[in-house]
C-alpha cells in the first residue's frame, strides 16, 4: 500500500526513461545519406566504397524519404575519433523511420563494401567490429526495403495513419555514431527486469515490496543532477551494487527452469515476395552471427531449409559461418520439413516429400546428426491425423506448435502430452504457453520480458510434471540433433523424462 501511495512504480519507470539515453557516452551525428531507389529486390545494390553517389538525392535528419514497397540503398560515411577509448564498444545508431508494419524499414548494412549486420525498427543499434581503424573514413551502405507502409494483412495490424496512403513516406531520425557505456547499460538492464517483475507480482507477495525498495535505493545512489556528466557515470557502479544486493535479498527465485532459445520466424511468402524473403533471411542470419560474437553463450534455432538454400546461394560466406556455428553446437537446424508446411490442405504425399527434402538437405550440408528431431510448426493451422506417423517415419521424435491455443473460447487441456495418430503412433508434443500483452493466444514472438516469463509459468498446465515431486522445465522461443544435443531437443527430452 505504501508503494501505491508514493507511486513508486511510475516514479521508477520515469527514472529509467530519464537515464536510458545515457548508455551512449559519446554521440557523433551522421551528417547525411545519399539515397537511391532500385528496380527491385534482385537489382545489384551499389555498395562498393568507390561508387560515385554524388548525383543521388540527399537525406538528412528530419527529412521524409522512401515510398511504399521501395527497394533502396542509403550511403554515408563516418569516422571514429582517434581520442575515443579503444576499449569501449562503438556502434551505429540507425533509426531510419517507422513503416507501421512488422519491422520495416529494414536493411543490410555493408561496412566498407562487406555485409556486416542488419537494421530495422527493432535493431537500430549496430555494434561495429572492435578492430575498426580510428581516425579514418569508413563507408556505410544500407541495402533494404521500405515495407508496406501500414498496408499489411488488409490493414489489420498496420499503422492507421499510413494505411491506404500511396504518398506515405518515412521520417528519418537522427542517425549517429555512438560509444557505449557498458556499466550504465548493465544497470538499466537489471533495473528494467527488477521493475518488470515487481510490477507483475501480486500485492501480497513480499518480494514485490523488496524489489521496489531495492530499486528506490539504487536510484537514490545515482547522481542525476543536470548536466549529466562524470558525476553520473561515477555513481553507476555503486548504484548497480546496491540494486544487485537488494534483488538478492528480495527472495529466492522460483524452482523452475525456463530455457530461452533464439529463433527467427520468417514466412517464406506471405506479405512480401520471394525476392524480399531471400534478403530477409540474409539480414536475419547476419544479425544472429553478430549476436553470437557479442554473447558467446547465445544459442539459436532455425527451421526451413528453403531459407538456408537462399542464403547459400546469395551469401556464401555467411552460409559457411553458419555451418561452423552448427558444428560448434551453437546453431540448431530444426523442423524436419523443407518449409513450415500447411497441414490443412496438403496431402500425405506432399507432407512426406516435405520431410524427404528437408531432412536430406540438413544432413547433406550440416551432417547426419546436426538436425534436432523436432517437427517445428509454430505458425501453422491444422494438423492432419496421420502426422504423428509421418513424423516418426521421417526419423523425428517431437512436435512443437502454438496454434492450437489460438482459440478465444476453448482451451486445450494440455501443453505437454503424447499425441497419438490414427495408426497408434505417438509423438511427444509441446505447446508454448507464453502469452503476449495479455492476449488469449500463445505467441512465438516471446520478448523475454518479466511479464512473459511469469505468464509462461502461470499458463503452463502440467506444472506437476506428471509425477509427484517433479517440476517440469519450460520452453520459450525467442523471437531468434538427431542426437546433436541442440537446446530445443534437450528441452523436450527433459519434459519426456
* pLDDT tens-digit readout, 14-54: 999 999 999 999 999 998 999 999 999 999 999 999 999 99
Catalytic residue numbers?
A: 379
Query: How many other C-beta atoms can be found within 10 angstroms of the C-beta atom of residue 273?
Result: 13
Residue 221 and residue 239 in contact, taking contact as beta carbons nearer than 8 Å = yes
Is 385's pLDDT higher than 70?
yes
Predicted local confidence at residue 407, as pLDDT: 78
At residue 246 the predicted structure's pLDDT band, cuts being 50, 70 and 90, is very high
Higher pLDDT, 282 or 406: 282
Residue 456 and residue 473 in contact, taking contact as beta carbons nearer than 8 Å = no
Omega prior to 428 cis, within 30 of 0: no
Predicted local confidence at residue 253, as pLDDT: 85
Q: If you average pLDDT over residues 304-330, what whole number do you get? A: 97
User: What's the pLDDT tens digit per position in 386-439?
Assistant: 999 999 999 999 999 988 878 778 888 888 899 999 899 999 999 888 887 767
Q: If you average pLDDT over residues 332-342, what whole number do you get? A: 95
For residue 323, give the 3-state DSSP assignment: helix
Is 58's pLDDT higher than 90?
yes
Is 114's pLDDT higher than 80?
yes
- Specify the range with the lowest mean pLDDT, choosing from 21-25, 112-116, 454-458, 475-479: 475-479
Is 121's pLDDT higher than 70?
yes
Regarding beta strands 474-478 and 258-263, do their DSSP bridges make them parallel or antiparallel, or are they unpaired? Answer: parallel
Collect all residues with Cβ–Cβ distance below 8 Å to 396 and sequence separation of at least 6.
336, 355, 373, 374, 375, 427
Is 155's pLDDT higher than 90?
no
The number of residues making up the chain comes to 497
- Specify the range with the lowest mean pLDDT, choosing from 93-97, 342-346, 357-361: 342-346
Collect all residues with Cβ–Cβ distance below 8 Å to 32 and sequence separation of at least 6.
58, 59, 60, 76
Predicted local confidence at residue 119, as pLDDT: 97
**Rounded distance between C-alpha atoms, residue 298 and residue 85, angstroms:** 27
Within its chain, how far is the Cα of 54 from the centroid?
36
At residue 162 the predicted structure's pLDDT band, cuts being 50, 70 and 90, is low
Is 472's pLDDT higher than 50?
no
At residue 493 the predicted structure's pLDDT band, cuts being 50, 70 and 90, is low
Is 466's pLDDT higher than 80?
no
Is 494's pLDDT higher than 60?
no
Predicted local confidence at residue 1, as pLDDT: 57
The three cell numbers of residue 24 are 551512449
Predicted local confidence at residue 99, as pLDDT: 85
Predicted local confidence at residue 489, as pLDDT: 56
What is the average pLDDT score of the chain?
88
Predicted local confidence at residue 281, as pLDDT: 97
Q: If you average pLDDT over residues 90-115, what whole number do you get? A: 94
Higher pLDDT, 291 or 164: 291
**Rounded distance between C-alpha atoms, residue 254 and residue 256, angstroms:** 5
- Specify the range with the lowest mean pLDDT, choosing from 62-76, 216-230, 375-389: 375-389
Predicted local confidence at residue 487, as pLDDT: 58
Regarding beta strands 300-302 and 331-333, do their DSSP bridges make them parallel or antiparallel, or are they unpaired? Answer: parallel
Predicted local confidence at residue 476, as pLDDT: 43
Q: If residue 474 lies in a helix (H) or strand (E), which one and from where to where?
A: strand 474-478
Residue 71 and residue 133 in contact, taking contact as beta carbons nearer than 8 Å = no
The three cell numbers of residue 416 are 505437454
Higher pLDDT, 384 or 292: 292
- Specify the range with the lowest mean pLDDT, choosing from 62-71, 251-260, 273-282: 251-260
Using a pLDDT cut of 90, give the percent of the chain over it: 67
Q: If you average pLDDT over residues 231-260, what whole number do you get? A: 92
From residue 320, give the alpha-carbon distance in Å to each of 73, 110, 277, 493.
Answer: 26, 18, 20, 30
Predicted local confidence at residue 469, as pLDDT: 46
Is 272's pLDDT higher than 60?
yes
Residue 132: φ, ψ to 5° = -65, 130
Is 77's pLDDT higher than 70?
yes
**Rounded distance between C-alpha atoms, residue 321 and residue 326, angstroms:** 9
User: What's the pLDDT tens digit per position in 197-232?
Assistant: 999 998 889 999 999 999 999 999 999 999 999 999
The string of DSSP letters for 320-387 reads: HHHHHHHHTTSEEE--SSSS----SS--HHHHHHHHHHHHHHHHHHH-TT-S-SEEE-TT-----TTH
Is 483's pLDDT higher than 70?
no
Amino acid at each position: 500500500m505504501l508503494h501505491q501511495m508514493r507511486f513508486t512504480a511510475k516514479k521508477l519507470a520515469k527514472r529509467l526513461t530519464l537515464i536510458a539515453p545515457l548508455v551512449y557516452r559519446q554521440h557523433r551525428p551522421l551528417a547525411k545519406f545519399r539515397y537511391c531507389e532500385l528496380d527491385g529486390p534482385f537489382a545489384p545494390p551499389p555498395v562498393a566504397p568507390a561508387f560515385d553517389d554524388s548525383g543521388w538525392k540527399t537525406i538528412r535528419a528530419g527529412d521524409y524519404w522512401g515510398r511504399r514497397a521501395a527497394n533502396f540503398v542509403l550511403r554515408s560515411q563516418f569516422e571514429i575519433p582517434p581520442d575515443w577509448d579503444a576499449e569501449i564498444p562503438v556502434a551505429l545508431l540507425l533509426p531510419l523511420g517507422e513503416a507501421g508494419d512488422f519491422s520495416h524499414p529494414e536493411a543490410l548494412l555493408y561496412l566498407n563494401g562487406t555485409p556486416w549486420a542488419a537494421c530495422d525498427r527493432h535493431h537500430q543499434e549496430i555494434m561495429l567490429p572492435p578492430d575498426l581503424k580510428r581516425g579514418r573514413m569508413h563507408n556505410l551502405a544500407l541495402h533494404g526495403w521500405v515495407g508496406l507502409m501500414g498496408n499489411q494483412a488488409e490493414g489489420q495490424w498496420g499503422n492507421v495513419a499510413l494505411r491506404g496512403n500511396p504518398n506515405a513516406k518515412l521520417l528519418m531520425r537522427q542517425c549517429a555514431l555512438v560509444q557505449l557505456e557498458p556499466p550504465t547499460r548493465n544497470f538499466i538492464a537489471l533495473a528494467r527486469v527488477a521493475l518488470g517483475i515487481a510490477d507483475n507480482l501480486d500485492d501480497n507477495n513480499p518480494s514485490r515490496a523488496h524489489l521496489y525498495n531495492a530499486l528506490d535505493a539504487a536510484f537514490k545512489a545515482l547522481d542525476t543532477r543536470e548536466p549529466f556528466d562524470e558525476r553520473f557515470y561515477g555513481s553507476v557502479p555503486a548504484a548497480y551494487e546496491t540494486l544487485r544486493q537488494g534483488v538478492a535479498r528480495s527472495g529466492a527465485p522460483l524452482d523452475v527452469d525456463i530455457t530461452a532459445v533464439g529463433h527467427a520466424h520468417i514466412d517464406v511468402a506471405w506479405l512480401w515476395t520471394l525476392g524480399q524473403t531471400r534478403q530477409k533471411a540474409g539480414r536475419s542470419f547476419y544479425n544472429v552471427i553478430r549476436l553470437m560474437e557479442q554473447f558467446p553463450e547465445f544459442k539459436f534455432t532455425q527451421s526451413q531449409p528453403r531459407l538456408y538454400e537462399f542464403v547459400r546461394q546469395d551469401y556464401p560466406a555467411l552460409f559457411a559461418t553458419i555451418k561452423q556455428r552448427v558444428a560448434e553446437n551453437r546453431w540448431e537446424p530444426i523442423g524436419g520439413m523443407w518449409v513450415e508446411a500447411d497441414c490443412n490442405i496438403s496431402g500425405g504425399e506432399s507432407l512426406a516429400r516435405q520431410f524427404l527434402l528437408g531432412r536430406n538437405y540438413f544432413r547433406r550440408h550440416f551432417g547426419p546428426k546436426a538436425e534436432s528431431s523436432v517437427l517445428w510448426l509454430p505458425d501453422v493451422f491444422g494438423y492432419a491425423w496421420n502426422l504423428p506417423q509421418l513424423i516418426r517415419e521421417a526419423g523425428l521424435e517431437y512436435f512443437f506448435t502454438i496454434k492450437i491455443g489460438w482459440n478465444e473460447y476453448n482451451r486445450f487441456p494440455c501443453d505437454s502430452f503424447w499425441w497419438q495418430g490414427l495408426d497408434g503412433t505417438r509423438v511427444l508434443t509441446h505447446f508454448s504457453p507464453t502469452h503476449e500483452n495479455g492476449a488469449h493466444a500463445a505467441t512465438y514472438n516471446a520478448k523475454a520480458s518479466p511479464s512473459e516469463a511469469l505468464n509462461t509459468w502461470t499458463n503452463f498446465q502440467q506444472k506437476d510434471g506428471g509425477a509427484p515431486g517433479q517440476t517440469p522445465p519450460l520452453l520459450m522461443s525467442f523471437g531468434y540433433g538427431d542426437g546433436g544435443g541442440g537446446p530445443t531437443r534437450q528441452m523436450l527430452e527433459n519434459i519426456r523424462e
